[in-house]
């Protein structure tokens, strides 16, 4: 009987890759199944449950803890370890009402977004400031929950309750079909979405599991990139009800855009690590003085897999 690895996603936006990871069949090749839960469910009602469950050994890996590790290290809790980063560029899209033609038009406007966390509202704030807006000239209004209605971010802009909204794919396509448009933003290297986190305790006791987990993750990325028709079917079957979108075109769009984002070799960019540190933890003098941005990262296991030729052979085939 195959063992089960418990993986907790911080947000539904991680599910395109994690659903394919679970449903593509790659894990069976390595003798395990994945149980995927999302924060907000019974296992982890809040974001705070992620690290608690990890330290308690009740889950094996978390997808998407981006900031808390630094504050934890400053407090003396040094067990959290990042093993891989599946994308390095920000994928969120800024949908705007038709009268908005430039970033300068957002002065004095309300912008909706999902969650008040630095990797979402913080990144958006940094981008808008880099484009010349002052922090006091725009309002980012995080909506922490939509009670399962993920379309409401777009619908509120269509209804005139805000001038813009930051959305994940495929809600950008939904917004365009509703008459909104995507306002182009500068590229920004980020630690975002499916960042793989575990603990030193777990690694010490489960080195073989860490290796096969990473190999299966790399194969899931390869599957996502190279088998689009199958991926579209998996995404539609598993996410249509959650997303509130049933038409196949949304999942064709989702597969195509995520395939471009996902890294063949899931190493983080140094600039992305620095950015995530500067957004939050680095502003705390205690953290800034005592913790290096690179400290929580251990890419040794990924490097061993890479140096073996595993990834190159996968794509050569």
Q: Which of 35, 62, 67 is nearest to 51 (CA)?
A: 62
Does the N-terminal peptide bond of residue 170 adopt cis geometry, omega within 30 degrees of 0?
yes
Question: Who's near 292: CB < 8 A, 6+ residues apart?
Answer: none
Does residue 148 surpass a pLDDT of 80?
no
Q: What is the DSSP string of 241-265?
A: HHHT---HHHHHHHHHHHHHHS-SS
pLDDT at 98: 96
pLDDT at 286: 80
Q: Is 299 exposed, middle or buried (0-12, 13-18, 19+ CB in 10 A)?
A: middle
End-to-end, the C-alpha distance of the chain in Å comes to 30
Taken in order of first residue, the domains within the chain and their CATH numbers are: 3-88+191-316 (3.40.190.10), 93-183 (3.40.190.10)
Q: How many CA atoms lie within 13 A of 150 on its CB side?
A: 17
Q: How far apart are CA 191 and CA 65, in angstroms?
A: 9
Over residues 113-129, the pLDDT tens digits come to 887 777 788 889 989 99
Over residues 46-55, the pLDDT tens digits come to 989 999 999 9
- Does this model's pTM top 0.75? My answer is yes
Radius of gyration (C-alpha) of the chain in whole angstroms = 19
Over residues 179-211, the pLDDT tens digits come to 999 999 999 999 989 999 999 999 999 999 999
- Report residue 149's pLDDT band, with 50, 70 and 90 as the boundaries: confident
Share of the chain above pLDDT 70, in %: 98
């Amino acid at each position: 009987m195959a063992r089960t690895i418990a993986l907790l996603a911080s947000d539904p936006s991680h599910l395109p890759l994690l659903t394919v990871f679970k449903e593509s069949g790659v894990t069976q090749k390595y003798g395990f199944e994945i149980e995927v839960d999302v924060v907000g469910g019974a296992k982890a009602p809040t974001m705070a449950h992620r690290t608690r469950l990890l330290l308690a050994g009740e889950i094996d890996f978390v997808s998407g803890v981006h900031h808390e590790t630094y504050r934890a290290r400053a407090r003396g809790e040094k067990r959290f370890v990042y093993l891989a980063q599946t994308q390095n560029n920000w994928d969120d899209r800024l949908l705007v009402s038709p009268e908005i033609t430039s970033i300068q038009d957002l002065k004095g406007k309300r912008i909706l977004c999902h969650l008040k966390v630095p990797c979402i509202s913080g990144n958006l704030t940094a981008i808008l400031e880099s484009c010349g807006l002052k922090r006091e000239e725009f309002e980012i209004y995080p909506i922490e929950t939509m009670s399962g209605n993920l379309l409401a971010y777009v619908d509120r802009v269509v209804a005139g309750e805000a001038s813009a909204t930051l959305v994940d794919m495929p809600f950008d396509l939904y917004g365009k079909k509703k008459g909104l448009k995507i306002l182009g933003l500068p590229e920004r290297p980020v630690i975002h979405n499916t960042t793989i986190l575990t603990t030193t305790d777990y690694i010490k006791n489960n080195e073989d599991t860490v290796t096969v987990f990473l190999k299966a993750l790399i194969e899931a990325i390869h599957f996502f990139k190279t088998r689009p028709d199958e991926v579209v079917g998996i995404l539609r079957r598993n996410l249509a009800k959650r997303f509130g979108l049933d038409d196949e075109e949304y999942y064709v769009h989702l597969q195509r855009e995520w395939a471009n984002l996902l890294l063949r070799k899931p190493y983080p960019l140094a600039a992305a690590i620095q950015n995530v540190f500067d957004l939050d933890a680095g502003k705390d003098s205690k953290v800034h003085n005592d913790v290096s941005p690179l400290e929580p990262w251990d890419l040794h296991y990924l490097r061993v897999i890479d140096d073996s030729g595993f990834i190159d052979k996968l794509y050569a085939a």
